[in-house]
Every structure is written in C-alpha cells, then in structure tokens.
C-alpha cells in the first residue's frame, strides 16, 4: 500500500477489539470507525476508555481484534501507525527534573519536529507562559500546568489522529475554552480527535460523534442527536441521557 493510499483510509478503525485483565473483560468486541472531526469516547469508570486509547497506540496489546490508523495496523505497522498519532494519557508520568520546555524538546526531538515557535504558541494559547515552562521544573507544576504540557506534547505538529484521555482534568474554565477552540481549529484543518471525558456539557458541545462504552461493550454510537434518540429520556440534559445509557444494570 502506498502513502497516498493510506491517506484515503479512515483516521481510525477499531474492529472487534477485545481485551481482558484476568477475569475482567475490559473491552468486548468494540468496533467503530472515525474519520475527521471530534469524536467522544464516553463511559463510566472502568468502562474501558483508557484501555481502548492505550490499545490504539499499542501501549496495551489486544487479545483479539484489530486497530488501524490511516490503514496502518497498530500491531504490524506499529511505528508507522504511531507516527500518525499525538497522545495524552490520563495520568502521564513526566521527568520531574526536566523543565516543561525541555520535556517538549525531548518529545519534539523524538518525533523529529523542529518548530520551537509552534511549541511556544501552543503553550501560550493554552495559558502557560513559555518563560515559566523554560525555567520551572515539572516537579514544581500544578495539575493544570502538567496537563497543558501534556496537551502541547500531543498537539505538536498537528498529527492526523489526536487521542486525549481526560484532557479536561485539572484545567480551569478559561483553559477549557482555549482547548476547545484549538481542537475545533485542528479538526477543521483535517486532524481527527478522539477524546474521553466525564464533562458532558463539553462533550455534547464539541463532539460531532461519540461512542458510549458500558462494561467494555458499545452501548451507543452516533451523533449527540442520535445518542439522544437511543435514550429513554431524550429531552433531558445530556448528563441524564448518558446515565441512562451508561449506568450499570
């Protein structure tokens, strides 16, 4: 398959992804496809969202099923697939003794990106002063500052597929708004964004499509309007819609 033919493939295709941890089934034949826009990955605690995001970048190996990123198999063509991705884990572990800027330099070096201006612009946009990032070590950062460093690392270079696991944790209202604007810009310029979150108002506002996971299975899939239709309380706030579809039996 040539590079140009890969560009015509969906940004992300998950096919019957299955994973167990011991006796616990974390993912049970999950299938969906995303190409462009902002896609929400919803579910209660332990529904399998983080496991799925980790499996997409092959940080976790699936028991069964396949995942393709722009046509690259995440297991067979791991490196090609990872080159398409920017990823923010739920609880990233950083090098505490590096400054935020040095950490971003490291990630940029590993990804062979050489645009310091883009890094500074991203940091400023998210509300973290590049000067602070240059002088303060990550060990001294607040939760919000750490999250902004992780977001900048994931968004650098505008990768075709951006995976954000709970990107809103620790962000203040202003930073959430700035993040939303940036994600919308990236989506309009061709990136596909998959994000998981528990902030339903944010998800309903920004996501064009979403999947709700319940105990590792797909409980609902579609646009926010489709999801509402699948619920028994379609006129209620989206939080109630989500709880109706995702709550344990």
Partner 1 sequence: MSRVANSLLLLRARAVEAVRWFRQHAFVLLVLAPLILVPCGWILIRWAPLVATELHRWLELDTATPAALAWILALFVTVPPLRTALDELYPPRRTMLDALPVAVSSRLVTAIITTWVRQLPLLVALVVALVVLGFERPELAIAHLAMIISLSTAVALALATLLVRLRWLDGRALVPAAVWLGAALVAQRPPWLDAVLAPWRASAVQIDGLVRAIADQMGSPARLAAPDMGVVLTIVIALGLATIIYLRDYERGRELVETILSKRARRSTVRLRQTEPTPHPVRVGVARDMRLVIRLFSPAVVVTSGLTFFWLLAAVLAPLVTPIAWHERATFAAGTMAVLSSVALVPVLVQHQLPRLWAETVSGIEPSTVWRTKLWSARLLAVPATLLVILLIATRGTASALPNALLFAAMAWCLASLVGGAAYEIPERPLIGFLFSAMVGTALAGLLIIVPDLWLMWLIGFLVVIATFTDRANGRIQLLQTQR
Per-residue contact flags (x/-) with partner 1 for residues 138 to 177, judged by CB under 8 A = -xx------------x------------------------
Q: Closer CB to partner 1, residue 63 or residue 226?
A: 63
Query: Exposure of 190 by Cβ count < 10 A (0-12 exposed, 13-18 middle, 19+ buried)?
Result: exposed
Task: Indicate which single residue of 109, 190, 226, 229 sits in contact with partner 1 (rule: CB under 8 A).
Answer: 109
Buried b / exposed e over 36-58, threshold 16 CB at 10 Å, is bbbbbbbbbeebbbbbbbbbbbb
CB 79 within 8 A of CB 249: no
Q: Quick check: 190 binds partner 1 (CB under 8 A)?
A: no
Here the tokens at position 164 are 């954000």
Distance CA 9, CA 6 (A): 5
Size of the site for partner 1 (CB under 8 A): 40
Q: Is 3 in the site for partner 1 (CB under 8 A)?
A: no
**In the set 45, 97, 173, 249, which binds partner 1 (CB under 8 A)?**
97
Of 6, 9, 15, 111, the one binding partner 1 (CB under 8 A) is 111
Among 73, 94, 217, 240, binds partner 1 (CB under 8 A): 94
User: Closest separation between CB of residue 60 and partner 1, Å?
Assistant: 5
Can you tell me which of 32, 87, 141, 242 binds partner 1, judged by CB under 8 A? 87
Q: Is 126 exposed, middle or buried (0-12, 13-18, 19+ CB in 10 A)?
A: buried
Report the alpha-carbon distance of residue 33 to residue 13 in Å, rounded.
Answer: 4
Strand order, beta sheet including 72-73: 24-34, 12-21, 64-69, 72-73
Query: In angstroms, what is the minimal distance from the CB of 247 to partner 1?
Result: 29
Binder to partner 1 among 7, 24, 76, 95 (CB under 8 A)? 95
Contacts of 41 (CB under 8 A, 6+ apart): 49, 52, 53, 194, 195, 196, 210, 211, 213
| Residue 58 binds to partner 1 (criterion: CB under 8 A) | yes
Indicate the residue among 156 and 203 with the shorter CB distance to partner 1.
Answer: 156
**Closest alpha carbon to 245 in 223, 226, 230:** 230
Contacting positions for partner 1 (CB under 8 A): 54, 57-61, 79-83, 85, 87, 89, 92-95, 97-99, 101-102, 105-114, 134-137, 139-140, 153
């Amino acid at each position: 398959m040539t590079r140009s033919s890969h560009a015509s493939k969906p940004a992300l295709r998950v096919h019957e992804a299955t994973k167990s941890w011991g006796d616990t089934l974390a993912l049970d034949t999950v299938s969906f496809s995303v190409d462009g826009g902002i896609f929400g990955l919803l579910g209660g605690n332990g529904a399998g969202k983080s496991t799925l995001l980790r499996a997409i970048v092959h940080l976790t190996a699936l028991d069964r099923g396949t995942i393709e990123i722009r046509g690259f198999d995440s297991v067979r063509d791991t490196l090609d697939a990872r080159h398409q991705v920017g990823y923010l884990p739920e609880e990233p572990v950083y090098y505490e003794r590096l400054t935020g800027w040095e950490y971003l330099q490291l990630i940029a070096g590993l990804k062979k990106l050489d645009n310091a201006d883009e890094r500074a612009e991203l940091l400023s946009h998210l509300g973290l002063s590049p000067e602070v990032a240059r002088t303060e070590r990550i060990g001294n950062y607040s939760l919000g500052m750490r999250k902004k460093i992780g977001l900048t690392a994931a968004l650098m270079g505008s990768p075709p597929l951006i995976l954000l696991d709970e990107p809103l944790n620790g962000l203040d209202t202003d930073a959430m708004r700035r993040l939303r604007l940036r994600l919308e810009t990236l989506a309009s310029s061709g990136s596909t964004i998959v994000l998981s979150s528990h902030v339903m108002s944010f998800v309903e506002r920004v996501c064009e499509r979403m999947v709700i996971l319940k105990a590792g299975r797909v409980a609902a899939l579609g646009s926010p309007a489709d999801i509402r239709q699948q619920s028994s309380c379609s006129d209620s706030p989206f939080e109630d819609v989500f709880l109706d579809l995702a709550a344990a039996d």
